[in-house]
Chain A
Amino acid sequence: MNLQFVVDGLLAGSMIGLGAIGVTLTYSILRFSNFAHGDFMAWGAYATLAAVGAIGAMFGKIAPIAPLSFGWPLIAAVVIGMAITGLLALLLDLMLFARLRAKGQAIIVVMASFGASMALRSLLEFIFTSRPTYFSRAIQIAMPVGFGIRITPDQIALLLLTAVLVLGVHLLMTRTQTGRSMQALSQNAALARIVGIDVAKVVRVTWIVGGALACVAGVMIGILIQIRPFMGFDMLLPMFAAAILGGIGSVPGAVLGGLIIGLAEAGAVQLIGAEWRAAVSFIILMTVLFVRPIGLFGVRER
């Protein structure tokens, strides 16, 4: 078996994992499955693409940074895209989810997120058409790194970026007052208020973090594969499978779940064929739900 699937799997796993962090945070803190989360990825990718265009219009053509396929405009554009996606998530909560949450029925919020997902996607198709597009058409040469594995400079950069972001979110969750407040809210909302936590503020942070990470995942897909309105929706099943496999509420769990699913997908593609990729997430999801519903890092509710 060719070990190339390890690189492919880690990359797919990074995208899934970054998305799954948002899914697991919304689920544990706001107590609903946000089916629009995948579309945050697509919106993030398109927002970044638009920002790249705007920067290009202002500064003219800028050469890529040495071995990478992109230059500083894309890096600046991702930051803008993250802000826009975070705000989009916040706006959607303000207009839709918060109002429905106040009514107290979780299933209605879940259904609303499904509707929001379709609306967000259609809006992208309307603005950008459904034709795939790319950040760069340049072809990168993959370097051999031994064991029959080849990797491009872009891929290395994106794996490093994922590692940095995951570490950052983990530190935010465990070392800062904001992160402890998020944990507290997910464990006992009433007690969180009693100890002085402003729930509305923590909810806002949750959306911004989830949206911003979804944007990065979307941009990764855009750089490594392509940008299209359905790109995020197609990630929904693997993201939920990763979040549940890792244990709902656990940031490291979501990332590890993402990597496992990414590797399993890439392995399956190599062993049995590409048409089985989608089945892998489903099989893993079902296995976890039957064997260990609390996931790898999950803890039973007391």
Chain B
Amino acid sequence: MSQRVLDVRNLEAGYEPGVPIVRGASITVGKGEIVVVLGPNGAGKSTLIKAIAGLVPITGGTVLLDGSDITAAPAHTMVRLGLAFVPQTENIFPLMSVEDNLKVACGILKPREIPARIGEMYAAFPDLARQRKTVAGNLSGGQRQMLAVARALIVHPKVLVLDEPSAGLSPKFVAMVFEMLAGIRISGVTILLVEQNAKAALAIGDRAYVLVEGKDRHEGVASELWNDPVVAELYLGQRRLDPERDRHSGKGSAA
């Protein structure tokens, strides 16, 4: 981890004044890494990354992107700064075609670059190419996630931030999503990933944090965390990390 793409220090954030949800969380993401954020329901994982993306008011701490302070940057400037965010739900425009979903995200590209860039996304996601005229709301769950990810990648982000991209998908699509993320990392994109599906996320991740009550309580190498008793304690109480049960307990936990 030579170079820090994302450096979050002592972040405090919440929806209402005086009610902090994120309470002094610190995480870093190195260049080319996949960093996973785990934690029980309601720990503030979504709030943490929404705050990083400029969608939840920040009351303390700093967010550095490639060394520059983006703590106070408005949400719509994030793609230009190099941070692309994929929310957990409602992450596509349901009434627009697949192609228009991609085009509308190209605001920071030069107009003449756009067709070629969309072509690159279609090459990377052939499913989307086949459905380019389809209204996005009619896509399957897995294809929607693909579209949301393609839409985020299209602007060449320095870091891709995802909120539970596998939530609510059938097992086949869950596997597809994690394969896709591993592929994206190989292409050189840095990833910050919030996941309930701990086993699959730790399998593709480099490092991971456990967030509890809005604070990072534990950090480690992803492959080691799986068998770390402290994690089991923090994350699941008495329970072992069990992907099957994770999936059930994760149901209905909207962003």
B96 at the interface (CB under 8 A from A): yes
How many angstroms between the C-alpha atoms of A71 and B241 in the bound complex? Answer: 80
The count of residues in chain B whose C-beta lies closer than 8 Å to any C-beta of chain A is 30
Which residues of A sit under 8 angstroms from B75, Cβ to Cβ?
Answer: 190, 193-194
* Cβ-defined contact, A302 with B137, below 8 A: yes
A181 at the interface (CB under 8 A from B): yes
* Cβ-defined contact, A199 with B91, below 8 A: no
How many angstroms between the C-alpha atoms of A181 and B54 in the bound complex? Answer: 19
* Cβ-defined contact, A183 with B95, below 8 A: yes
Q: Mark B78-98, 1 if CB is under 8 A from A, else 0.
A: 111000010100111111100
Q: Mark A260-302, 1 if CB is under 8 A from B, else 0.
A: 0000000000000000000000000000000000000001001
Residue in B77, B79, B104, B151 whose CB lies within 8 Å of A181: B104
* Number of chain A interface residues as a range: 10 to 19
Residue ID in chain A nearest B86 by CB atoms? A194
Residue ID in chain A nearest B92 by CB atoms? A191
How many angstroms between the C-alpha atoms of A193 and B105 in the bound complex? Answer: 10
B4 at the interface (CB under 8 A from A): no
How many angstroms between the C-alpha atoms of A265 and B45 in the bound complex? Answer: 57
A177 at the interface (CB under 8 A from B): yes
Q: Mark A156-182, 1 if CB is under 8 A from B, else 0.
A: 000000000000000000000100110
A144 at the interface (CB under 8 A from B): no
Which residues of B sit under 8 angstroms from A195, Cβ to Cβ?
Answer: 79, 104-105, 107, 151
Total A-B contacts with CB atoms under 8 angstroms apart:
71
B76 at the interface (CB under 8 A from A): yes
* Cβ-defined contact, B96 with A196, below 8 A: no
Residue ID in chain B nearest A187 by CB atoms? B93
* Cβ-defined contact, B107 with A299, below 8 A: no
Residue in B55, B91, B93, B108 whose CB lies within 8 Å of A196: B108
B100 at the interface (CB under 8 A from A): yes
Residues B190-232 near A (CB distance < 8 A): none
Which residues of B sit under 8 angstroms from A184, Cβ to Cβ?
Answer: 93, 96, 104
Which residues of B sit under 8 angstroms from A194, Cβ to Cβ?
Answer: 53, 55, 75-76, 78-79, 85, 87
B31 at the interface (CB under 8 A from A): no
* Cβ-defined contact, A193 with B76, below 8 A: yes
A198 at the interface (CB under 8 A from B): yes
* Given A177-B107, A194-B55; A183-B93 close (CB under 8 Å): yes
* Cβ-defined contact, B104 with A177, below 8 A: yes
A2 at the interface (CB under 8 A from B): no
Residue ID in chain B nearest A177 by CB atoms? B107
How many angstroms between the C-alpha atoms of A180 and B74 in the bound complex? Answer: 21
A188 at the interface (CB under 8 A from B): yes
B121 at the interface (CB under 8 A from A): no
Residues A171-228 near B (CB distance < 8 A): 177, 180-181, 183-184, 187-188, 190-199
Which residues of A sit under 8 angstroms from B74, Cβ to Cβ?
Answer: 193
Which residues of A sit under 8 angstroms from B107, Cβ to Cβ?
Answer: 177, 181, 195-197
How many angstroms between the C-alpha atoms of A190 and B92 in the bound complex? Answer: 11
* Cβ-defined contact, B90 with A188, below 8 A: yes
How many angstroms between the C-alpha atoms of A194 and B77 in the bound complex? Answer: 8
* Given A191-B90, A196-B155; A177-B103 close (CB under 8 Å): yes
* Cβ-defined contact, B93 with A197, below 8 A: no
Which residues of B sit under 8 angstroms from A191, Cβ to Cβ?
Answer: 87, 90-93
How many angstroms between the C-alpha atoms of A183 and B103 in the bound complex? Answer: 12
Which residues of A sit under 8 angstroms from B54, Cβ to Cβ?
Answer: 193
Which residues of B sit under 8 angstroms from A198, Cβ to Cβ?
Answer: 76
* Cβ-defined contact, B100 with A180, below 8 A: yes
Residue ID in chain A nearest B94 by CB atoms? A302
* Cβ-defined contact, B76 with A196, below 8 A: yes
* Cβ-defined contact, B100 with A196, below 8 A: no
Smallest CB separation, A80 vs chain B (Å): 31
How many angstroms between the C-alpha atoms of A190 and B54 in the bound complex? Answer: 11
Smallest CB separation, B159 vs chain A (Å): 14
* Given A187-B96, A302-B137; A197-B55 close (CB under 8 Å): no
A-B contact pairs, 6 of them (CB 8 A): A183-B104, A191-B90, A191-B92, A194-B75, A195-B79, A196-B79
